[in-house]
Amino acid sequence: MKAIVLTGCPHAVLVDVSHDVPHFDISAGAFMLFAGTRHFPGGTVHLGVVDPGVGSSRRRLALKAGGRYYVGPDNGLFGIVIDEVGLEQVVELAARPEGAPTFEGRDVFAPAAAALASGVPLDSLGHRTDPPRMLDNSSPRILWVDGFGNLVTNLKPPVRPMRIHSHYITAAAKTYWDAKPNEPFVYVGSMGYLEIAVREQRADRMLGARAGMLIELI
Amino acid sequence: MKAIVLTGCPHAVLVDVSHDVPHFDISAGAFMLFAGTRHFPGGTVHLGVVDPGVGSSRRRLALKAGGRYYVGPDNGLFGIVIDEVGLEQVVELAARPEGAPTFEGRDVFAPAAAALASGVPLDSLGHRTDPPRMLDNSSPRILWVDGFGNLVTNLKPPVRPMRIHSHYITAAAKTYWDAKPNEPFVYVGSMGYLEIAVREQRADRMLGARAGMLIELI
Amino acid sequence: MKAIVLTGCPHAVLVDVSHDVPHFDISAGAFMLFAGTRHFPGGTVHLGVVDPGVGSSRRRLALKAGGRYYVGPDNGLFGIVIDEVGLEQVVELAARPEGAPTFEGRDVFAPAAAALASGVPLDSLGHRTDPPRMLDNSSPRILWVDGFGNLVTNLKPPVRPMRIHSHYITAAAKTYWDAKPNEPFVYVGSMGYLEIAVREQRADRMLGARAGMLIELI
Q: What is the pLDDT of residues A182-214, one digit of tens each?
A: 999 999 998 889 999 999 899 999 999 999 899
Q: What pLDDT does residue B112 have?
A: 98
Nearest to C77 by CA among C129, C134, C35: C134
Confidence of residue B81 (pLDDT cuts 50, 70, 90): very high
For residue A55, pLDDT over 80 is answered with: no
For residue A2, pLDDT over 80 is answered with: yes
For residue A137, pLDDT over 80 is answered with: no
> Which positions ≥6 away from B121 have C-beta within 8 Å?
none
Q: What pLDDT does residue C55 have?
A: 75
Interface test with B, best of A102, A104, A106 (most B CBs within 10 A): A102
Q: What pLDDT does residue C175 have?
A: 82
The secondary structure of A65-124 as a DSSP string is ETTEEEEEESSSTTHHHHHHH-EEEEEEPPP-TTS-TT-HIIIIIHHHHHHHHTT--GGG
| Residue A119 contacts B where some CB pair is shorter than 8 Å | no
| Residue B37 contacts A where some CB pair is shorter than 8 Å | yes
Q: In what order do the strands lie in the sheet with B167-169?
A: B167-169, B162-164, B216-217
Q: Is the CB of A56 less than 8 angstroms away from the CB of B177?
A: yes
> Which positions ≥6 away from B108 have C-beta within 8 Å?
B60, B93, B94, B95, B96, B99
Q: Is the CB of B15 less than 8 angstroms away from the CB of A14?
A: yes
Q: What pLDDT does residue B214 have?
A: 93
For residue A46, pLDDT over 90 is answered with: yes
Q: Which helix (H) or strand (E) holds C72?
A: strand C68-73
Query: Which of C3, C10, C54 is facing A176, going by the closest CB pair?
Result: C54
Q: What is the pLDDT of residues B159-178, one digit of tens each?
A: 999 999 999 999 999 888 88
The proportion of chain A whose per-residue pLDDT surpasses 90, expressed as a percent, equals 79
For residue B45, pLDDT over 90 is answered with: yes
Query: Which of C15, C37, C176 is facing B102, going by the closest CB pair?
Result: C176
Q: What pLDDT does residue C29 have?
A: 95
Nearest 5°: phi and psi at B153? -95, 175
| Residue C4 contacts A where some CB pair is shorter than 8 Å | yes
A–B CB contacts, 8 A cutoff, strictly below: 52
pTM of the model: 0.90
Q: What is the pLDDT of residues A90-129, one digit of tens each?
A: 999 998 888 878 889 999 999 999 999 999 999 999 999 9
In a structure prediction context, what are the per-residue pLDDT tens digits for chain C, which is 218 residues long?
999 999 999 999 999 999 889 888 999 999 999 999 999 999 999 999 998 888 778 999 999 999 999 999 999 999 999 999 999 999 999 988 888 788 899 999 999 999 999 999 999 999 999 999 999 878 999 999 998 999 999 999 999 999 999 999 999 998 888 889 999 999 999 888 999 999 989 999 999 999 989 999 99
Residue of C nearest to A12 (CA): C11
Query: Which of C39, C175, C200 is facing B3, going by the closest CB pair?
Result: C39
* Mean pLDDT to the nearest integer, A152-178: 92
Q: What is the pLDDT of residues B121-153, one digit of tens each?
A: 999 999 999 999 999 878 999 999 998 999 999
Q: What pLDDT does residue B52 have?
A: 84
Q: Identify the chains in contact with B, defined as 3+ C-beta pairs within 8 A.
A: A, C
- The ipTM is 0.87
Interface test with A, best of C102, C103, C106 (most A CBs within 10 A): C102
Residue numbers in A near B41 (CB within 8 A): 3, 6-7, 10
Confidence of residue B114 (pLDDT cuts 50, 70, 90): very high
Q: What pLDDT does residue B174 have?
A: 86
Q: Identify the chains in contact with A, defined as 3+ C-beta pairs within 8 A.
A: B, C
> Which burial class, exposed, middle or buried, applies to C130 when counting CB atoms under 10 A from its CB (0-12, 13-18, 19+)?
exposed
* Mean pLDDT to the nearest integer, B2-27: 93
Higher pLDDT, A56 or A80: A80
Q: What pLDDT does residue C24 have?
A: 86
For residue B94, pLDDT over 90 is answered with: yes
CA B55 to mean position of chain CA atoms: 22
The proportion of chain B whose per-residue pLDDT surpasses 70, expressed as a percent, equals 100
Q: What is the pLDDT of residues C162-182, one digit of tens each?
A: 999 999 999 999 888 888 999
Residue numbers in C near A13 (CB within 8 A): 6, 10, 14
Residue numbers in A near B175 (CB within 8 A): 54-56, 101-102
> Which positions ≥6 away from A115 have C-beta within 8 Å?
A8, A9, A125
Q: Is the CB of B15 less than 8 angstroms away from the CB of A3?
A: yes
Q: Is the CB of A190 less than 8 angstroms away from the CB of C10?
A: no
| Residue B52 contacts C where some CB pair is shorter than 8 Å | yes
Residue numbers in B near C38 (CB within 8 A): 3
Q: What pLDDT does residue A38 have?
A: 94
